[in-house]
Amino acid sequence: MQKDLPEVERLIADLRDEGIVENLTFEEHIIRIRTSKFLLLIYLPHSSRLNIEEELKTIHLDIDVLIHSYQKVLKRLIGMIGKGKRLYARETVVARIDKKVTLDFLEENHINGPMVGKYRYGLFYKGELVSVAVFSGGRILHEISEDYRSFELIRFCHKTDFLVTGGISKLIKAFFKDFKPNDIMTYADRDWSQQSSLETIGFQVENITDRQTFKVKDGKRLNYAADEENYDYIIKNSGSIKLKLYL
């Protein structure tokens, strides 16, 4: 294990403490951690995505994400094993939430960071915010009809340590009641799953997007306006699954 990568050692130790590591192997620039529920591939700088063909869910995790979002990554991995405080949506209350509450919640709990969108809904359990969904404004699809409105689910996540069964369905129902969309589209990150759980509630796969390229400098991803020639290495992710729910 490279001495300059303490977060990898820390993650392995924390996952072992949870009793979920079944096998661990080290390759050049890639660490494989196998559990009963998923295969985790940690990519060090100057590595490329592996094409893994097996039934077990595969998670592709870049070292820069692990370093800058360690606790969020760890809690998500533990949650994928089924560990956490389990709630049912019927135990929660749905309500609209403001920008600040949304930003704070997503900053704390969403690996990709916050986006406030236009419409924001939350689930509350005994007064505590445990799930958030963020939607875009409506877009008229004139090629279908003059009153056909499509919206995007931009962000959705639970509070770390919570598993809210039926949470996303309840949030979407509240949004539908208020705005009567004809469809809701969204994207699922293929670095975290090759098949979206949203399909179980009626979302249909539209297509798979191309891989995105990110440039990294001093351990941080550059924004798209940054100097394209001044970077240390490139990351190419696994693309996304585009899904749509017709209502």
Domain that holds residue 41: 6-83
Strand order in the sheet with 233-236: 220-221, 213-217, 233-236
pTM: 0.92
- Written as one letter, the residue type at 149 is R
Same domain, 14 and 76: yes
Same domain, 180 and 206: yes
Same domain, 104 and 192: yes
Q: Summarize pLDDT for 163-200 with one digit per residue, the tens.
A: 999 999 999 999 999 999 999 999 999 999 888 999 99
- How far lies 65's CA from each of 42, 104, 145, 214, in Å? 10, 19, 42, 12
Residue in the structure block whose two tokens are 């875009």: 136
Q: How confident is the prediction for the chain on average, in pLDDT?
A: 93
Task: Inform me whether the pLDDT recorded for 152 exceeds 50.
Answer: yes
Can you give the CATH number for the domain in which 89 is found? 3.40.630.30
Helix locations, 18-158, DSSP H: 63-68, 70-81, 99-109
Does the CA dihedral 47-54-61-202 come out positive or negative?
positive
Q: Summarize pLDDT for 87-99 with one digit per residue, the tens.
A: 999 999 999 999 9
Asked if the structure places residue 232 within a domain, the reply is no
